[in-house]
Amino acid sequence: MSSHWSYQYDTLPPGNYIRTLILKPGIDSETLQCDLQISPMNAVPFVAISYVWGQNMKNHEITCDGRTIAITTYLWILLRHIRSNVSRILWADSICINQENDEEKARQVAMMGQVFRAAEHVLIYIGADDLGHGRHVASLLSDMRIVIQEGLKQASSVQDAFPFPGDDTPILKDYRWKSYNHLLSQDWFTRGWAAVAQTARLIWGRYELSWEDLMRTDIWLMRRAPILRDVVRSRIEEDVKHSLLDVLGAAKDLNFYDKRDRIFAFAEVAQDYERHVPVHPDYKAHTLQVYHRFSIDFIRSTRDTEILDGVYHTERSLSHNCPSWVPRWDNEGTTLAPSRSSDWMPLKPLKLDVQPTLVSDNILRVPGVFTDTIVYISEIFDDSATSLETIRGLWNSVNFLTVEWAYPTAHRIDAFLDKLVRGMFDGKWETWKESRANLAHDLQDNGLIPAETARIRVDVNEMATSQYVTFAKLMTQSTRFVVTKRGYMGLAPQLTRIGDATAIIFSCVTSCVLREAVDVQQYQCIGPAWIAGAQPRNSDGGGVHFRQLGDERSRDWIYWDVKEQDIDLC
């Protein structure tokens, strides 16, 4: 294609202006034709379209104002699919943004969250349905809508009132779930930009699917829990806000053609407006520079250490020439720290008004306290291999360590089981409590009964403890179980070594693991950790649990010879 006949973009005016694509009518094999018009974002109603760029090879064309624009195969198929006998006003990033102009691209990328929200709706092209799964998914989602609606009729306004399906519920064994899984394996579901869409319809082959039905079904599958009644759901949507850090953490599994767009894509999505962090897309900076600059801007804007809750390292990322306290949002793996909520509040110091300080662009000074040194680490947990036998072996290793335990002897096993699942539970409380109690009895009995009897008990206990063990697989994935010199235990990042320090950095929601750097009095941030405080507590539903070390009712360090201090992270 000659550049002489390529489309020449007009310059966008400053401000809230975008281009929209006027797709002209056409049928069958007629050439795709369009016009591009410039207008304020909210001046013209439009439909945004989302698709996978594929191999990024632009081997098709669309004629625009008599000239050509090269487009990818997926976009070409989608435009032909939605073309009708009347013009349609659309927005597609690869056409409506001049991809050759980095300055324009930076400005428009900063507005993309607004664009998807301003659209009347979003059309999502999943791809071709070569194997014929589309009709199965369409009918399954329709049936699931009825299942969920029937469940809602039985549910009260309390979230846990929605009935759990029994193991013999026919829908659980439906053959169409294979088609559903095939849908979710399509590349589009890892595309980061489309996560900002609010109202959408999916196009898969010749079938159109409801985004709302898909989301309802997915939540039902994941939680076996209710979709709340409209009034309750609307109240939650108004009250629960997602910070930019929440969004960045939740989006780690999404793929971006340009990794810098992890920051740029979601800058406009965050709902914590009172802590707005200015993000100015700069495509001249490489990915780590973008992460680093955003982290600096976040700390300066919020005067908060919350960003450290998102640190998760691999050996490679820890060795990069970028501060360890900068989260690597493209690393595969999940931080141990939960998002802030009424259940997970920032850990507070004894004195008030402590704030982080940037000594330089590379050194972050944070208020905290060193609590201990790690003396034992387990192997890295692998959810495909974690089993009842894994937990038995770990308990035997931990229980026979020669340390002076921080926990009462009668409740040491409770601390062990509590931190193995990060103090959480899964499913119905009564069956969870029973599963955990069965496991506690099994661990206490293990090794104290004849070998033949033990073999008979294995199958029985695998069934009786399966709810706990299954959840523990999820909670421990890619972590290590650790024990400290003072006799505390918990979960820590996979890179943790014997000799690393545990510390509490105030305003984070959990403890963390730090490693002394070559420069004296500077530390690398290995990542968040779950460490159980020393004092047991009785939970409302029965059973013994442990607050995490650092909770305002578990500030154990005030009884030790340690002081709160500034800690320099590098």
Q: Which residue has the tokens 């409590």?
A: 433
Q: What string of H, E and C letters represents the secondary structure of 270-295?
A: CCCHHHCCCCCCCCCCCHHHHHHHHH
- 522-538 vs 565-569, strand pairing mode: parallel
* 51, 161: one domain: no
* 78, 156: one domain: no
Judge whether 252 lies within some domain: no
422 burial class (0-12, 13-18, 19+ CB within 10 angstroms)? buried
Q: How far apart are CA 92 and CA 172, in angstroms?
A: 38
Judge whether 388 lies within some domain: yes
Q: Which residue has the tokens 């013009």?
A: 87
Angle at 555 between CA 553 and CA 557, to 5 degrees: 160
Query: Which residue, 120, 142, 172, sits at the end of a domain?
Result: 120
CA 175 from centroid of its chain's CA atoms? 29
* 139, 93: one domain: no
* 173, 48: one domain: no
* 388, 487: one domain: yes
Judge whether 246 lies within some domain: no
* 115, 163: one domain: no
Query: Which residue, 239, 264, 296, sits at the end of a domain?
Result: 239
* 58, 166: one domain: no
Judge whether 315 lies within some domain: no
Type of residue numbered 93: D
* 404, 538: one domain: yes
CB distance 271 to 241 below 8 Å: yes
* 56, 148: one domain: no
Type of residue numbered 290: V
From first to last of its 570 residues, the chain has per-residue pLDDT tens of 444 478 999 999 998 999 999 999 998 788 999 999 999 999 999 999 988 765 567 888 999 988 999 998 888 988 988 898 899 999 999 899 998 898 898 888 888 878 888 898 889 888 877 788 899 999 999 988 888 777 766 655 444 445 556 555 677 777 888 888 888 888 787 665 555 555 788 888 888 898 888 888 887 776 553 332 232 233 334 444 557 787 787 777 666 667 887 787 676 555 444 467 778 788 888 999 999 999 999 999 889 999 999 999 999 999 888 999 999 998 888 889 988 877 788 888 877 567 899 999 999 999 999 999 999 999 999 878 888 999 999 999 999 899 999 999 989 999 999 999 998 888 778 888 888 888 998 888 764 434 443 444 445 467 778 889 989 998 999 999 999 999 999 999 999 999 999 999 999 999 999 999 987 789 999 999 999 999 888 876 667 888 889 888 888 888 898 889 999 999
Q: In what order do the strands lie in the sheet with 88-91?
A: 67-71, 60-64, 33-40, 17-23, 88-91, 47-51, 122-127, 200-204, 207-210
Q: Which residue has the tokens 């963390």?
A: 512
Integer distance in angstroms from the first to the last C-alpha of the chain?
51
* 116, 139: one domain: no
CA 512 from centroid of its chain's CA atoms? 19
pTM of the model: 0.69
Type of residue numbered 381: F
Tokens standing for 265? 């894509």
Range of the domain at 186: 134-239
Judge whether 348 lies within some domain: no
Q: Which residue has the tokens 């420069």?
A: 519
Judge whether 296 lies within some domain: no
Q: How far apart are CA 170 and CA 119, in angstroms?
A: 39
Tokens standing for 426? 């899964």
Query: Which residue, 120, 145, 170, sits at the end of a domain?
Result: 120
Judge whether 9 lies within some domain: yes
Judge whether 291 lies within some domain: no
How many domains is the chain built from?
3
